[in-house]
Structure 1
Amino acid sequence: MPHVFGPARQGRFRFTLNSDGRPHTVENALSVVTVVCGLAAFAAGFLPAMHVLASWAGALGLGVGLYSQYVSATRPERALNIVGIVASFVGVAFGVHHGGFLP
């Protein structure tokens, strides 16, 4: 057990959604779209004048996020999907509370 007493080697941190080593371009793109829509809906949800953007971006983020969760291949994709889905839900809830989908 030399690794117990010796210094631990730390590799360079590298963020990747392809933790299995295979490219998943469609799944990665869906995850990123989910997070972008979720963050836009979340940010717009706090402003009552932006209720239309919050509602539509949140609804789009929820739909894309649920499909992306269904087809995801790796754990980092699923984690990103959950962040986007929750942000989309909060954004669409605030948007509906402030006035809904129509101006």
Structure 2
Amino acid sequence: MPHLLSPSKSRPFRLTLNTDGVSHPIENAMSVATLVCGLVAFVSGFIADAHILASWAGALGFGGGLYSQYVSATTAERSVNIIGIVASFVGVSLGIYHGGFVP
């Protein structure tokens, strides 16, 4: 067990979606877009007057997130997708409850 006694090399912390070492710019952009749509829908879903924004952002984030989940390449992308999809679903549900897609 000499590897336990030797000093270990620790890499600096890096936040990345490319955990496999290969660049996936399109998949990363779709994952981040899903997360942004989900957060916008989730936050605006709690505001009754913003039901149109919550409904459309949630529907766009949910549909786009499902496609992004389908083409994702890494586990980190899939994790971001799931967070965005769930937030989009909650946002679109609250938006529909408060008035739906049209004024």
TM-score bucket (shorter structure): over 0.9
Q: Deviations over 1:10-46 (max 9, x none)?
A: 3210011111111111100100000000000000000
In structure 1, what is the equivalent of residue 2 of structure 2? 2
In structure 2, what is the equivalent of residue 85 of structure 1? 85
In structure 2, what is the equivalent of residue 72 of structure 1? 72
Identity, % of aligned pairs?
64
Q: Counterparts of 2:30 and 2:65 in 1: how far apart (Å)? A: 7
Give the residue type in structure 1 aligned to 2:68.
Answer: S
Give the residue type in structure 2 aligned to 1:101.
Answer: F
Aligned runs of 1:1-103 on 2, under 5 Å? 1-5=1-5, 8-103=8-103
**TM-score computed with the length of structure 2 as normaliser:** 0.94
Q: Counterparts of 2:7 and 2:95 in 1: how far apart (Å)? A: 52
Unaligned runs of 5+ in 1: none
Q: Counterparts of 2:14 and 2:95 in 1: how far apart (Å)? A: 36
Give the residue type in structure 1 aligned to 2:10.
Answer: Q
RMSD over aligned Cα, in angstroms? 1.2
**TM-score computed with the length of structure 1 as normaliser:** 0.94
Other structure's SS at 1:78 match: helix
Q: Counterparts of 2:3 and 2:87 in 1: how far apart (Å)? A: 41
Give the residue type in structure 2 aligned to 1:70.
Answer: Y
Q: Counterparts of 2:7 and 2:99 in 1: how far apart (Å)? A: 58
